[in-house]
Amino acid sequence: MLLTVDVGNSHTVSGVFSGSTLLHQWRLKSDQDRTADELAIRYHALFQMADIDRREITGFIVSSVVPTLETAWLAYARSYLEHCRTEPLAVSCDLDTGITIRTENPAEVGADRIVNAVAAWDRFRSDLIVIDFGTAITFDCVSAAREYLGGTIHPGIGISLDALAGRTAKLPRIDIDTPPGEIIGTTTVSAIRSGMLYGFGGLIDRMVDLLAPRISQGRSEVNIIATGGMARVIGPYARVIELVDPLLTLKGLRLIHERCRRN
């Protein structure tokens, strides 16, 4: 079995694969001060609840945008996953992922963005854009030739809601899982919901309209895939999103591990 871990600024998503089948997944808050021993206590309890014998975990890979947690996870794997058949992997621009990074400074590209590019290319094998709804909203542009071309970064939905509530005297922090109904809000809450959902949906559509022609140069259609915690919420409000896959990053980690194991 393979343990895959995606460490974000807000949450850590992990999953255990048997072959290409995802057996279990967990989503926990990212604590930057977590040590390898603390990870062991938490995740061995999760393994036990899921009836997973950690001695059957023979591979490990992590992508992280939090350097201290990447270090902790690698230390955890080396100390507690003693049956790994290969050295625990951490995704970076230096790892052989099958994707060529065509940016000015490849080391700046977040590990999660590389992983998403790998998984999305494997899904479409075409010019494509990955939209990741995390702490930030990122657009990642990938060519049919397996080239990561770059992208854009925007404030995330949670950040925007926090700023709206924190910087205004009367506007509340709300849950946007509930649809706003009419686009013209008739209450403060419905006005915020409409602004967030239709507004971010419009952002998605506009950015894709601008980015897609630059990727394809008129060669072909550009496929659009979305992932991340808020993708399912914003998806219905953006006309361009073809597919929402909340497991995209874990799938990409599995694909990269398989490639590195073969090589």
List the structure tokens of 117.
């590019």
Residue 34 has what DSSP assignment?
-
Residue the block writes with tokens 């060669």:
219
Query: How does strand 59-64 pair with strand 89-90?
Result: parallel
129-to-125, 152, 169 alpha-carbon distances in Å: 12, 11, 38
Indicate the residue type of 69. L
Which among 112, 127, 132, 140 is annotated as catalytic?
112
Residue 221 has what DSSP assignment?
P
- Do 134 and 113 form a contact (C-beta atoms < 8 A)? no
> Which ranges constitute the DSSP H helices of 217-263?
231-234, 248-262
**E strand or H helix at 54, and its extent?**
none
In degrees and rounded to multiples of 5, residue 9 shows phi and psi of -65, -35
112 belongs to the catalytic site: yes
Residue 163 CB burial class (10 angstroms; 0-12, 13-18, ≥19):
exposed
List the structure tokens of 74.
């690698």
Give ∠ CA 193-195-200 in degrees, rounded to 5.
105
Residues classed as catalytic: 112
